[in-house]
């Protein structure tokens, strides 16, 4: 089951990366700079991250006794998706 979960998360990550590319392209089209520069050449303080997506989804470690909660990970992703829509 861990391989299936990894494949599912990689697909979800690709989808999120596609959204990021789209948003940076929109900023470039608005004349705010080149998309690659906006994404990669920002000052360190300009990088932001949602703490919600950093939360661990289980008690184990990946290679050593992995006990992950797939349901928690899916709900966390869903809630973050709702947050992105509201934002």
Per-residue pLDDT of 5-61, as tens digits, reads 778 878 888 988 898 899 999 999 999 999 999 988 988 888 887 777 777 777 767
- Provide DSSP, the chain: -HHHHHHHHHHHHHHHHHHHHHHHHHHHHTTS--HHHHHHSS-GGG----GGGGS--BSS-SSSS--B-HHHHHHHHHHHHHHHHH-
Q: What is the pLDDT of residue 63?
A: 67
Q: What predicted TM-score, i.e. pTM, was given to this entire model?
A: 0.62
């Amino acid at each position: 089951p861990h391989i299936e979960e990894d494949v599912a998360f990689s697909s979800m990550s690709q989808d999120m990366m596609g959204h990021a590319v789209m948003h940076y392209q929109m900023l470039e089209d608005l004349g705010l700079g080149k998309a690659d520069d906006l994404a990669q050449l920002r000052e360190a303080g300009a990088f932001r991250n949602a703490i919600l997506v950093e939360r661990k989804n289980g008690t184990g470690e990946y290679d050593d006794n992995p006990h992950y909660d797939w349901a928690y990970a899916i709900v966390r992703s869903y809630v973050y998706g709702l947050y992105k829509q509201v934002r």
